[in-house]
Chains A and B, each alone.
Chain A
Amino acid sequence: MATSFSATLPLHGSQENRLLLPPIRLAPPPSSFLGFTRSLTIPSSRRLYHAHAARRSPVVGVQEVVKEKKVTNSLLITKEEGLVLYEDMILGRSFEDMCAQMYYRGKMFGFVHLYNGQEAVSTGFIKLLTQSDSVVSTYRDHVHALSKGVSARAVMSELFGKVTGCCRGQGGSMHMFSKEHNMLGGFAFIGEGIPVATGAAFTSKYKREVLKQDCEDVTVAFFGDGTCNNGQFYECLNMAALYKLPIIFVVENNLWAIGMSHLRSTSDPEIWKKGPAFGMPGVHVDGMDVLKVREVAKEAVTRARRGEGPTLVECETYRFRGHSLADPDELRDAAEKAKYAARDPITALKKYLVENKLASEGELKTIEKKIDELVEEAVEFADASPQPGRSQLLENVFADPKGFGIGPDGRYRCEDPKFTQGTAQV
């Protein structure tokens, strides 16, 4: 399933002036990206780092190759893997639908951004990671947290602002952190997480190469198409390639940045091309198909674990709901929405599992039921949890657990009643 871009976009003047080469779609030689039947030990060629070298090789879009492979009848996943993927995507979808219900009932407030439709990207990448690998996300982070292993209870309580939430209610929807699962957060500000991810990746490389510890941790940074016009993105691509960091930059290109169409705001909308410009492979994949995403992710993660450096993966995906629950979603064409709704990743995986006799409808239904109960239980737990105490307001501003240190009278400053009135001397 080729991308919608390649057919409709005019090539820019600068490209036309070049030689008669076809549009450059950097893909490594077939041997390394086809993963499953060929050996992965062939190191990714140094050619990948030099765009001019890549022009010499016949290039082929990754998804087309993967599609061919599917036709030659080798299954991409085992039954266990398939059920794990299915369960994760169903969890993401049910959780987000429950969030919408709770929001409209007034149980949570603030800005909530739902991930419906993009589950394949989160499941495809994060289910390949270990607990010690790090994930950095955006404000659309509930499902990334869930895929990484943060419990649905913790995420729901955080949304309700309760003290049992993963950040004790401090962060809310857009700031899901988990030390245990190495979820380095939700970031409300676009692009702010990418430098943080780059630094985290440096840590694992340092541990391995300088401290000689056994560390193969990678970092995956998720962000959207709008972020690809932001300076921080480019700065980090440069640093990651320069230092050869074990990081994967995953662009969830859902074509819309609130109300701004990606095609109208970017000079060259094919984001994967920006990878080779910085010296790393750039790959485009159909983000509505979890199996394709998983294949690309496997290769990218393996590259990173081997110490071969970063990868930029552009996933073409779509969000079924508006930008946030406050967005009336009037700007997007109904035909476009229908087109992507027909490519619902959950339906596609279900079809694949049933057709290839990996699972029966009954088994899948059991999973759905189990997830429904899990999500409902999460809501009950969140409802029953207490709100944070008022003193939590002043904690964690500084390292000192009580926030503002000790005042001249020997007591913690924040215990001074005048402090919370805003009129005490700090």
Chain B
Amino acid sequence: MASLLSRFCRKLALPGSAHGSRMTSTTACGSETVKSLNLYSAINQALHIALETDPRSYVFGEDVGFGGVFRCTTGLAERFGKNRVFNTPLCEQGIVGFGIGLAAMGNRAVVEIQVADYIYPAFDQIVNEAAKFRYRSGNQFNCGGLTIRAPYGAVGHGGHYHSQSPEAFFCHVPGIKVVIPRSPREAKGLLLSSIRDPNPVVFFEPKWLYRQAVEEVPEHDYMIPLSQAEIIREGSDITLVGWGAQLTVMEQACLDAEKEGISCELIDLKTLLPWDKETVEASVKKTGRLLISHEAPITGGFGAEISATILERCFLKLEAPVSRVCGLDTPFPLVFEPFYMPTKNKASSSSSLSSPSKTHIF
């Protein structure tokens, strides 16, 4: 699968970037300069712009001073000074709590958690403090200026603690937003929206795509609206929903399915909480089938929420049960990663995609 993805992730092969039949809701202006960037450079640009446009914004976390272990924060300390871009000691709970405090006093705090697997010590602060700040102070205080960035997802050799996808835990918390970009251009726009959004946002970046994904990214300041899903590939037989790096896998499955005559509609959710129910609902009402795919373990993953909501809303239009192609219910393995991951073959052979004709009823 690694070779599969690396073949796939070469330039211009990102979902939604060069296809004829797609809709796009990005607001990039056609006449502005664009540059070919990978994901960490796009995030870096977004951070530069965010710090430039708001003098009361700060970036901090472990090792951000020299650029971060994934190079997302290069150049920030040199340009904006150590007072605004600084390293913290190794205490995630302290870092996020500190960020909440800064945000509560009206600043914008962009916190970096080095790897999403390390976010759990901060989970208490995020769930109990960040999510409830506005609510329990009766809107006197809020920590909307808080944005927590964390690289998530499999990377091929990460093992148990450098590959987890914890988005499902955070989607269960009313009061925060969870945003996951799929490509460099999306990442820059979504990160700027997240930083400027008046609610605390947890922003997961697919670490596999930091260097692998390359795309034309406009150089100006632009924002992509949150809570709006995008249909990156139109089709009429089945709807596929995903986010982040998994979309590249699903796009491959779509191409394979098309050879067998199945027309697939691929939707990028972008924001998982609150998610765009209308777009997915409209799509499923059109196609009648739904397949959800994510890297996190299947039980209790976010696919379950999507499945339940769509069943409630579109029950009579569904022609087949909602299918979920996800990671297995085990801790993220080391040597067994290729067996654990929801590959395109698993997607293609799942009950929904392998049915050749639209009239086949389960």
When each residue 163-182 of chain B gets 1 if its CB lies under 8 Å from chain A and 0 otherwise, what string results? 00000000000000000000
Is A231 a contact partner of B62 (Cβ separation < 8 A)?
A: no
Contacting residues of chain B (268-323) with chain A, CB-CB under 8 angstroms? 298-299, 323
With both chains docked as a complex, state the minimum distance between the C-beta of A245 and any C-beta of chain B, in angstroms: 23
Stretch at the interface among B30-38, B50-58, B234-242, B338-346: B338-346
Q: Find B339's partner among A265, A393, A397 (CB 8 Å cutoff).
A: A393
**How does the 8 Å CB contact mask read for A400-424 relative to B, with 1 for contact and 0 for none?**
0001100000000000000111110
Do A174 and B159 contact each other (CB < 8 Å), given the known contacts A169-B335, A393-B340, A397-B329?
Answer: yes
Q: A82: CB under 8 A from chain B? A: no
Asked whether, in the complex, the Cβ of A393 is within 8 Å of the Cβ of B328, the reply is yes
Report whether B330 and A227 are in contact in the complex, using a CB–CB cutoff of 8 Å: no
A298 lies within 8 A of chain B by Cβ = no
Of all chain A residues, which has the CB nearest B162? A111
Report yes or no: A421 in contact with B350, Cβ–Cβ below 8 A: yes
A3 within 8 A of partner (CB): no
User: Which chain A residues (4-24) contact chain B, with CB distance < 8 Å?
Assistant: none
A422-B117 in contact (CB<8A):
no
Instruction: State which of A109, A259, A266 has its C-beta within 8 Å of the C-beta of B89.
Output: A266
| B362 interfacial contact with A, CB 8 Å | no
Bitwise interface map of A from 151 to 189 toward B, beta carbon under 8 Å scored 1, else 0 = 000000000010000000111101100000000000011
Q: Which chain A residues numbered 362 to 418 have a C-beta less than 8 Å away from chain B?
A: 387-388, 390, 392-394, 397, 403-404
Other-chain contact of B63, A227, A260, A423 (Cβ < 8 Å): A260
B351 interfacial contact with A, CB 8 Å: yes
Known: A231-B91, A265-B88. A423 touches B325 (CB 8 A): yes
Contact with B along A108-120 (1 / 0, CB 8 A): 0111000000000
B89 touching A110, Cβ below 8 Å: no
Question: Which single member of B62, B159, B327, B336 contacts A260 (CB below 8 Å)?
Answer: B62
A394 partner residues in chain B, CB cutoff 8 A: 328, 330
User: Do residues B336 and A110 form an inter-chain contact, with CB atoms below 8 A?
Assistant: no
Q: Which of B88, B121, B325 has the most CB of A within 10 A?
A: B121
Q: Is the CB of B334 within 8 A of A161?
A: yes
Contact, CB under 8 Å: A388 / B161: no
Contact of A423 among B94, B329, B330, B351 (CB under 8 A): B351
Main secondary structure of the interface of B (DSSP, over half): loop
Knowing A230-B90, A392-B336, the reply to whether A423 touches B346 (Cβ < 8 A) is: yes
Binary flags per residue of A225-243, CB closer than 8 Å to B gives 1, else 0: 0110111000000000000
B350 touches A258 (CB 8 A): no
Q: Is the CB of B90 within 8 A of A110?
A: no
Q: Is B220 among interface residues, defined by CB-CB distance under 8 A?
A: no
B106 at the interface (CB under 8 A from A): no
Q: Does B4 reach chain A (CB closer than 8 Å)? A: no
From B87, B161, B298, B349, contact of A426 by CB (8 A): B298
Contact of A393 among B62, B333, B349, B351 (CB under 8 A): B333
- Contacting residue for B342 out of A190, A226, A230, A422, CB 8 A: A422
Does the CB pair B159–A259 fall under 8 Å? no
Bound Cα distance A176, B346 (Å):
32
Q: Contacts A110-B159, A422-B326 hold; do A189 and B335 have CB atoms under 8 A apart?
A: no
**Docked CA distance A241–B129 (Å):** 31
Contact A423 B324 (CB under 8 A): yes
Instruction: Tell me if A422 and B327 are in contact (CB < 8 A).
Output: yes
What chain A residues lie within 8 Å of B339 (beta carbons)?
390, 393, 420
Across the interface, which residues of A come within 8 angstroms of B331, CB to CB? 397
Taking the closest CB of chain A, its distance from the CB of B218, in whole angstroms, is: 31
As a 0/1 sequence over residues 128 to 171 of chain A, the CB contacts with chain B under 8 angstroms (1 = contact) are 00000000000000000000000000000000010000000111
Contact partner of B159 (CB less than 8 A), chosen from A172, A265, A392, A420, is A172
Instruction: Write out the residue numbers on chain B whose beta carbons fall within 8 Å of the beta carbon of A266.
Output: 89
* Nearest-Cβ distance from residue A181 to partner chain B, whole angstroms: 22
Is B157 within 8 A of A422, CB to CB?
Answer: no
Closest to B351 in A: A423
Across the interface, do B157 and A111 meet the contact criterion of CB distance under 8 Å? yes
Could you say which of A229, A387, A393, A420 contacts B90, with CB atoms under 8 Å apart? A229
B23 within 8 A of A: no
Contact with B along A258-271 (1 / 0, CB 8 A): 11100011100000
* A394 → B minimal CB distance (Å): 6
Chain A positions within 8 Å of B8 at CB level: none
Complex-state Cα separation, A387 to B327, whole angstroms? 21
C-alpha gap A251/B319 in the complex (Å): 61
Q: Which of B93, B159, B298, B350 contacts A188 (CB 8 A)?
A: B159
Closest residue on chain B to residue A169 by CB atoms: B335
Q: Cβ of A65 < 8 Å from any Cβ of B?
A: no
Closest to B327 in A: A422
Scoring A403, A421, A422, A423 by chain B CB atoms within 10 A of each residue's CB, the highest score goes to A422
Q: Which residues of B contact A404 (CB under 8 A)?
A: 329
| Bound: A109/B349 CA distance, A | 30
Knowing A169-B334, A231-B94, the reply to whether A188 touches B346 (Cβ < 8 A) is no
A354 touches B (CB below 8 Å): no
Q: Could you name 10 residue pairs across A and B whose Cβ atoms are closer than 8 Å?
A: A109-B157, A161-B334, A161-B335, A189-B161, A190-B90, A260-B89, A390-B336, A421-B346, A421-B350, A422-B342
Residues on B lying within 8 angstroms of A by beta carbon are 62-63, 65-66, 69, 87-91, 93-94, 117-118, 121, 156-162, 298-299, 323-331, 333-336, 339-340, 342, 346, 349-351
Minimum-distance CB pairs A-B, first 8: A229-B89, A188-B161, A161-B335, A226-B90, A393-B336, A110-B157, A109-B157, A265-B89
Excluding A174-B161, A393-B330, A420-B328, 4 further A-B contacts by CB distance (< 8 Å) are A189-B118, A229-B91, A422-B298, A422-B325
